[in-house]
Structure 1
Amino acid sequence: MKAFLNIRFSWMLSAVLLVTASQGNAQTAPKKPLVVKTADGYKQAKYPGQSVPSPKEHFGFNIGDDYKLANYTQTVAYYNKLAASPRTKLVDIGLTEEGRHEYMMVVSSPENIKNLAMYKDIAQKLARAEGLTNQQALTLAARGKAVVWIDGGLHATEVVGAAQLIETMYQLISRKDPENMRILDNVIVLFTHANPDGMELVSNWYMKDADPLKRNTEIPTLYEKYIGHDNNRDYYMMNTKEATNMSRQLFLEWFPQIMYNHHQRGPEGSVLAGPPYRDPFNYVFDPLMITGIDALGAAMYSRLNVENKPGYTRLTGSSFSTWYNGGLRTTTQFHNMIGLLTEIIGNPTPEKIPVVPARLVPNGATPNPVLPQDVWHFRQSIDYSVSLNYSVFDYAARQRDEVLYNIYKMGKNSIDRGSKDNWTLSPKRTDAITQAYRNDQKSSSDNAGSAGDPMGWMTRGSDIPMKYYDAVLKNPANRDARGYIISADQPDFPTAIKFLNALIKSGISVQKATSGFSVEGINYPAGSYIVKTDQAFRPHVLDMFEPQDHPNDFLYPGGPPIRPYDAAGWTLAFQMGVKFDRVLNNFGGPFVKIPYGQIQVPPKAVVPAAAKGYLLSSQVNNSFSVANDLLKAGVEVYRVPKGAGGLAETGTFYIPAGAMAKSVLDKADAGLGVKVMATDEMPADAKKITSLRIGLWDQYGGSIPSGWLRWLMEQNHFDYSIVYPQDIDAGNLDSKYDVIVFVTRAIPPVGGEPRSNSMFYDRMPKAEDTPSAFQKMLGKITPEKSIPQLRSFLEAGGSIVTIGSSANLAYHLGLPVHNALVDKDSNKPLPGTKYYIPGSILQASVDPTVAAAWGMPADVDVNFDNSPVFKLDDDAAKKGVQPILWFATDKPLRSGWAWGQSYLKDGVAGFAAQVGKGKLYTFGPDITFRGQSHGTFKLLFNQFYGFTGK
């Protein structure tokens, strides 16, 4: 069945386009290089007697020519030619999800190239700042070379990124002018291709049409095997191979002081958006991070102005901030690296700069506006990008010792803050100071925090005595943690190990206990892990363990909220359901430091020789993977509603003893860390389970949430098939599927169209304009054709799981549920001025006695992004509707921003509903969010088994 299950069209797309992709891409076949692998692990290709060719000599066109794109295969061939230069080292940093080699080209002077190991060592020592005095750091900074990271192609349909990478690389390798030579002498540049698979797909698709006017970059699949655009949301989790490859270079190998992440597109009426960025910036940053971004931003837009390249906007001129972690650019900022992002216009098909009157008047955000123009050529965007890169190179060359010392200084400041009592300022704490003072006043007319003069410009002074500041910012209970202890005896320790590995892959220092120990009266077993905050990357540590406190951010007082750049809260430990203790005082124990980058494996448990059978905890996510392996091997598996044999959790797995069961359990334990318990009797209420035929909805253009779900299913050994809208409309669904999953934005609202995750959803191409291999993906879910088929599927005994906005299906089916987030007077949805919760972590209550929630705790942290919340009708229970998740309090916020959260109290976030012989499972929060929300995975996994009785 799996032959059809793991459907991926990228290989098909490449095959369909292979012949046509070369049209207009003529190139001279490269001479076979002599590949030399050096002692430090690099690979260098030498072309005896051959000089470095220009892009046109290799590709047959100039980078930036209209209607021309190179693919990745051709680009790698060019990289090998550039590797002939003594100014280069070509590094294979790992394989992509589709099996291509991902390359990083190191460029500097020949002398620096010979001494890369020494300069890398200096960069590592300064970034980690361990055991260095200020004078030693100054000495290293004087000896070292600035390291600058330039990437391109991450979002593959943003084609400027990969193209500028090629052009800049060539210019830096070939130019001999004074500026270029100064840069080469003082800077080591890491040119990194961020998405090889995507470049191959997008370029081949664009070049497939002989008629240039028909060319477009709107490919029918995601441009990263699983997650498309979300490949820039994976850098604190590193689920994908590409994110892991680049994070290794950033956080374990090279530690560039400056990294530059190229994107598009710029805001309408401008050419590009760049640094500095709008507020809020994250409060855990060192101040040098923000001023460093300011300094690089000034260098970038100043150079463009000198070169008469207008149209750079910054600050409030765009939506980008430094609040969010998780992006290729943003995660580096939590590692004291000056992370830069630009978003530029440009396409090989010429475009225009439209008339946007609000962009035409110079202001602080856009000092030098660009004028509207009917034709903007691709090469113009390439030239802008090269200038921006050179502005960064030039800054790094001129301020070489400063950028090297400053990354040390930020790291040293972090170590110092983690080594003593420290209080982090945040909006809630500053608000607490004001509120405490006001509570003590007979009148609230004081001038503290006055709306008309919040900064005290007119009043010149505050009546707030220092004691109110001390009560909050010197309160011992409000101190930052000195460290975090992750006990080895928590319910799902294998998931805790996955969390730790995310930290380790991000360069965080982690310790492990060699024996049992006690801290502040709490005993911990051997094998527990410790993460101290006295380390250089302390901002990232705090960001993964502590709640984010996003400020109330409105366009004006009483006005609409301003949408965050991405999520407002994401605390990874909360998302993954990891149990940990915050320790506020210095502590020690029998701890050993794990070598940087050393991935941890859960302890291997010996599978006992069971007299009757085996038990697996349903609280452990990996137990589902083991259960799937057993079922595929033909072994009987049962679930016990009330737990058994010392395992109190609902839904415990029971496996009768046998040779095959023992063999599978022995093999499955490797790396999964699932503890297997023996039992002498079969639990009386055990229910035999079977694997179900699972269908995952997807669409033409690719759904990112569906792609994440494909990744998640494969990681946890579930088989599945892809279901497209045409499959739904064809009916007879019960003959193919037992359960169908609709991720967010699949089911349209009643009476309207959905907000699509795909750019193609509202402008689906015609079948005759679509290659035959992709025609089956066309179409969308409609009330007229699709909903009746889904109703029939349910009534016949099938199950459907809806996530996020696809909860609309409940309304289409006329179930006795209604939107809980409406104004009581008008019955209309609450406006943003009263209620707004963008991408945050909330705590919900769970009923673990319901089979859909077996193995879950009584309270769980959920990913919530203005998600659906329901009120059940009075007769809902009689009609077969059963709550699974709900908000029991008026303050469920755990991390992020929740304006008007009191409206959530008693709202239902998830329920199961009987529809005929089948069941609809509806979850408003994103229970599989970006492969990160391990704490809620079981709410999906539980729906993938059927019961057959004993």
Structure 2
Amino acid sequence: MIKRYLSKGLWMFLLATSLTAVAQEVPSPKSHFGFDIGDNYQLANYTQTEAYFKKLAAASKRVKLVDIGKTEEGRSQYMLIVTSPENHKNLEKYKAISQKLARAEGLTEKEAKDLAQQGKTVVWIDGGLHANETVGAHQLIQTAYNLISRTDAETTKILDNVIVLMTHANPDGQELQSDWYLREKTPEKRSLAGLPRLYQKYAGHDNNRDFFMLNLKETQNMGRQLFIEWNPQIMYNHHQSGPAGTVVAGPPFRDPHNYVFDPIILTSLDAVGAAMHNRLNVEDKPGYTQRGGSVFSTWYNGGLRTTTYFHNMVGLLTEIVGSPTPMEIPLVPSRLLPNSDSPNPVTPQKWYFKNAIDYSVSLNYAVLNYAQRYHDELLFNVYKMGKNSIDRGSKDTWSFSPQKIEAINAAAKKDKSDGGARRSMDPKYFDEVMKDPKLRDARGYILSADQPDFTTAIRFLNALIRTGVVVQKATAPFTVEGKKYPAGSYVVKTDQAFRPHVLDMFEPQDHPNDFKYEGGPPVAPYDAAGWTLAYLMNVKFDRIVNAFDGPFQKTTYGELLKATPQALPNASGYALSAQANESYLAVNELLKAKVEVFRNPADGSFYVPASAAAKAALNKAENNFGMKVTGASKPKGAVKVKPSRIALWDTYGGSMPSGWMRYIMEQYHYDVTVVYPPDIDAGKLKDNYDVLIMVGGSVPAFNPEAGGRGFNPPAIENIPDEFKGRVGRMTAEKSIPQLKTFLENGGNIVAIGSATNLAAHLGLPVANALLTADGKRLPNDKYYVPGSVLSVKTDAKLAANWGLDENTDVYFDNSPVFKITGSDARVKPLAWFATDKPLRSGWAWGQAYLKDGVAAFEADYGKGKLFAFGPEITFRAQTHGTFKWLFNQLYK
């Protein structure tokens, strides 16, 4: 009846309006998931979360859903772009402004300020990176709903001035962890513990250690958005769990900070951290701790948060307490007294999932409110830091470091006229060090195309390019400082906005001597102390401290380098160098194609007789991976190569070192079978395998007094049938006898890190080289080497060492070091510490104790052989320079 009294136009207008209202009604989490985010004993999996994100995108003009790439298990990884409808109309404009300011190329200060006024702050908020830290993914859902549905003044201002990139960091992990938790029908019996495998296919918890290497598909997806596409001014990385007796740890963070940062990074962390902390206090949410209240520092590169510092972004981390199963804030008396780190302590109480979600949403809003209030300042500061980097890389610059401070002190102490007792020193000592031409920062680095493993150098450069670094290629031969370089060489200059990252990948880290008090124990660094990637990958480069130029062509931001295909030489056979990792990949392809391959016993190089099948396999390798293949005749004494049957140890729940090993095996085309302790205990290993790879954590410690007892299997209920065969731990009683039999029957074992405990179980004449005179372990105040890069000497004549340099850099993390006892010919050192100063990058307190210690050895045992490597030769799939220590042992 009403329709009769309305004009047709008005009726259509009202109908369209009502349909729009329905379309704009944002679905609540409860309407989709069936529960409120934060309800006890409830979790959403990724399938449900993805469907909810799609509903939000369909319902609101405030959100755009972007598929940023596939995960390692093939799921779509989504990012929600949340901002006002008006800003969505101009997203490409605002992205371009963010890129221009971050790269700081060719902009005057006035132009940068104008762009800062025009632009919108870009803020990254992620969740779910560590899937067992379930608050992360769920706060992302709740925050997205709040931003999209709320109409209050604060939210409106945020949407008007900020573009929020809400990124799911680990879809595969959320699916696995949530389904595992919910498998138990009785809510009170649900547990996050006992996940049967890694929650990221290869890396598990180490997925937050892959952001300068960017091996994994998920980290590559996120790296592209962070460093190439959007270049946010603030990024916020959500984690768990806060220190006992607190609710949440956040910025600012404790020292030391990395000396390559622009100082604006540190003061910005103070400012944003204060906004976060203050908001919780205003909302009567106690329990925030900062600086020395937690272990988190700003030294390390490689984390989702920490890598951003080297790109002039304000990287935020919070670690919050929370679980879908209700828990307790424990009584920790030392945390109760207010101080500058924790001015508003929390008292012991029951703690619910909803509490953690509410805190997280408040913290997100604190960051976003700060971003909207200071959007022009944040945008300009990014430009300023980038411009500072360009300027520093364009002139003579001397960066401070602990070693240079020590050099200044040493110069004064050496000068007897100074007396050494004055409170201030003559500035001449400063000039002696900080104006020494030899100690200048690099203007750039040249990677010659004629280096032995150029394909690995390309992999290294692609890691830089993925993080937004500008790389230049020589289009013709050139000469710098009297040295000639061929066309196709690459140059990385430091006059670019991300100079801190460039320096960090090429230069040694100089971690300070950090002790709780004078003469006290060392303070462990957050993760590693040194990681110089060019060292770990054995990339050959020249460090240039003077201005230089040449026929250089800049690569496009984010565009990866590709191998330049070369025609195979016209020859009766082909040679592949043992110095190039890609040679091993090619050999694996040749062996799978049933092509004969031989090894030259003089240097370990591979020889392949020419044939149609050989040409096809080598052309594939050449075109895809930039293989260097030379013409050759069959070398004297050449030995035919056969593929080994390879087994790799793993455990219930998943081992990260084993996961990274799987990744390496796949990348270099080795076939490998994963085995578990019950498989080893079952025996008859030699019937199925020729080589067994044992990574850190696999072999129990040798302890005769305790009978060498291993660990008990985890007490987990309702283990799915497919995982029951994995439950167990290696023991001295069951596992070690099977490993002995395997070796006696002609099997080989590659033992890495703590797996070298096997040498003691086998009774080999080797011992711990790092003991006091009375046989006790050296205390940390005497000797302490957290994750760092050290140099070892190798014996190039030994087959196990083929392709390695005489002086090889290794990743060392308080790793085993040996001494050979007696003169048993069965044991041969492969690598040892030839000096009392082997440190190349990081921190090595008491490194003199390492001199003459054996880092790696091989030992005959029965018909087989043990290869024992104390350093982490495959660490996080980053240490390409020592991969050959593994690869050489994987052929018959």
Tell me the TM-score normalised to structure 1 length. 0.90
Q: Give the C-alpha shift of residue 441 in structure 1.
A: 2.6
CA distance in structure 2 between the aligned counterparts of 1:386 and 1:442, rounded to whole angstroms: 62
Is the 1:555–1:562 contact (alpha carbons within 8 Å) kept by the matching residues of 2?
yes
Q: Give the C-alpha shift of residue 582 in structure 1.
A: 0.7
Tell me whether 1:78 sits opposite 2:52 in the alignment.
Answer: yes
Aligned partner (choices 810, 826, 831) of residue 885 of structure 1? 831
* Letter paired with 1:632: K
**1:853-868 alignment, distance < 5 Å:** 853-868=801-816
Aligned partner (choices 739, 743, 754) of residue 691 of structure 2? 739
C-alpha RMSD over aligned residues:
1.4
Is the 2:711–2:729 contact (alpha carbons within 8 Å) kept by the matching residues of 1?
no
Match in the other structure for 1:59: 33
Aligned partner (choices 659, 663, 680) of residue 616 of structure 2? 663
**1:542-941 alignment, distance < 5 Å:** 542-611=503-572, 613-642=573-602, 650-679=603-632, 681-751=633-703, 764-766=713-715, 769-823=718-772, 825-876=773-824, 878=825, 880-941=826-887
**1:524-543 alignment, distance < 5 Å:** 524-543=485-504
The Cα offsets for residues 571-605 of structure 1, whole Å up to 9 and x where unpaired, read as: 00000000000111111100111111111012212
Is the 2:135–2:240 contact (alpha carbons within 8 Å) kept by the matching residues of 1?
yes
Tell me whether 1:244 sits opposite 2:205 in the alignment.
Answer: no
The Cα offsets for residues 19-48 of structure 1, whole Å up to 9 and x where unpaired, read as: xxxxxxxxxxxxxxxxxxxxxxxxxxx997
Aligned partner (choices 130, 137, 153) of residue 155 of structure 1? 130
The Cα offsets for residues 495-519 of structure 1, whole Å up to 9 and x where unpaired, read as: 0000000000100011110000000
The Cα offsets for residues 81-136 of structure 1, whole Å up to 9 and x where unpaired, read as: 11020101111100000000001000011100111011011101110010111111
Match in the other structure for 1:324: 300
* Cα 1:763–1:409 shift into 2, 3 Å: farther
Match in the other structure for 1:450: none
* Cα 1:444–1:796 shift into 2, 3 Å: farther
Tell me whether 1:117 sits opposite 2:66 in the alignment.
Answer: no
Match in the other structure for 1:440: 415
* Letter paired with 1:106: I
The Cα offsets for residues 326-383 of structure 1, whole Å up to 9 and x where unpaired, read as: 000000110000000000010000010111111111111111110011x210000000
Q: Give the C-alpha shift of residue 442 in structure 1.
A: 7.5
* Letter paired with 2:326: P
CA distance in structure 2 between the aligned counterparts of 1:673 and 1:906, rounded to whole angstroms: 39
Is the 1:882–1:912 contact (alpha carbons within 8 Å) kept by the matching residues of 2?
yes
Aligned partner (choices 50, 55, 64) of residue 89 of structure 1? 64
Is the 1:767–1:778 contact (alpha carbons within 8 Å) kept by the matching residues of 2?
no
Is the 1:419–1:534 contact (alpha carbons within 8 Å) kept by the matching residues of 2?
yes
Q: Give the C-alpha shift of residue 436 in structure 1.
A: 1.5
Match in the other structure for 1:423: 398
* Letter paired with 1:384: Y
SS at match of 2:623: coil
Tell me whether 1:259 sits opposite 2:235 in the alignment.
Answer: yes
* Letter paired with 2:740: R
CA distance in structure 1 between the aligned counterparts of 2:795 and 2:189, rounded to whole angstroms: 55
Is the 1:47–1:81 contact (alpha carbons within 8 Å) kept by the matching residues of 2?
no
Q: Give the C-alpha shift of residue 666 in structure 1.
A: 1.4
The Cα offsets for residues 777-834 of structure 1, whole Å up to 9 and x where unpaired, read as: 10001111111110111111100011001111001111100111111x2221110011
Is the 2:398–2:439 contact (alpha carbons within 8 Å) kept by the matching residues of 1?
yes
**1:24-63 alignment, distance < 5 Å:** 49=23, 51-63=25-37
CA distance in structure 2 between the aligned counterparts of 1:716 and 1:91, rounded to whole angstroms: 32
SS at match of 2:641: strand
Is the 2:564–2:623 contact (alpha carbons within 8 Å) kept by the matching residues of 1?
no
Q: Give the C-alpha shift of residue 752 in structure 1.
A: 8.6
* Letter paired with 1:475: D
Q: Give the C-alpha shift of residue 408 in structure 1.
A: 0.5
CA distance in structure 2 between the aligned counterparts of 1:909 and 1:675, rounded to whole angstroms: 31
SS at match of 1:696: strand
Q: Give the C-alpha shift of residue 445 in structure 1.
A: 5.8
Tell me which moved more, 599-608 or 262-271: 599-608
SS at match of 1:691: coil
Match in the other structure for 2:382: 407
Is the 2:714–2:728 contact (alpha carbons within 8 Å) kept by the matching residues of 1?
no
CA distance in structure 1 between the aligned counterparts of 2:264 and 2:616, rounded to whole angstroms: 56
SS at match of 1:777: coil
**1:423-502 alignment, distance < 5 Å:** 423-441=398-416, 446-447=421-422, 461-462=423-424, 464-502=425-463
* Cα 1:911–1:487 shift into 2, 3 Å: same
Is the 1:747–1:809 contact (alpha carbons within 8 Å) kept by the matching residues of 2?
yes
* Cα 1:404–1:273 shift into 2, 3 Å: same
SS at match of 2:23: coil
Match in the other structure for 1:758: none
SS at match of 1:314: strand
* Letter paired with 2:428: K
* Letter paired with 1:151: D
How many equivalent pairs are there? 868
In percent, how many aligned pairs have the same letter?
Answer: 63
Q: Give the C-alpha shift of residue 847 in structure 1.
A: 1.0
Aligned partner (choices 336, 341, 360) of residue 312 of structure 2? 336
Is the 2:412–2:420 contact (alpha carbons within 8 Å) kept by the matching residues of 1?
no
Tell me the TM-score normalised to structure 2 length. 0.96
Is the 2:65–2:81 contact (alpha carbons within 8 Å) kept by the matching residues of 1?
yes
**1:91-240 alignment, distance < 5 Å:** 91-218=66-193, 219-240=195-216
Match in the other structure for 2:3: none
CA distance in structure 2 between the aligned counterparts of 1:751 and 1:364, rounded to whole angstroms: 46
SS at match of 1:615: strand
* Letter paired with 1:822: L
CA distance in structure 1 between the aligned counterparts of 2:331 and 2:673, rounded to whole angstroms: 47
Is the 1:767–1:775 contact (alpha carbons within 8 Å) kept by the matching residues of 2?
no
Match in the other structure for 1:288: 264
CA distance in structure 2 between the aligned counterparts of 1:626 and 1:753, rounded to whole angstroms: 49
* Cα 1:356–1:444 shift into 2, 3 Å: farther
Unaligned 5+ segments in structure 2 are: 1-19
CA distance in structure 2 between the aligned counterparts of 1:318 and 1:300, rounded to whole angstroms: 16
Is the 2:40–2:326 contact (alpha carbons within 8 Å) kept by the matching residues of 1?
yes
Is the 1:865–1:925 contact (alpha carbons within 8 Å) kept by the matching residues of 2?
yes
Q: Give the C-alpha shift of residue 430 in structure 1.
A: 0.3
CA distance in structure 1 between the aligned counterparts of 2:466 and 2:857, rounded to whole angstroms: 37
CA distance in structure 2 between the aligned counterparts of 1:435 and 1:348, rounded to whole angstroms: 57
Is the 1:891–1:901 contact (alpha carbons within 8 Å) kept by the matching residues of 2?
yes
Q: Give the C-alpha shift of residue 745 in structure 1.
A: 1.4
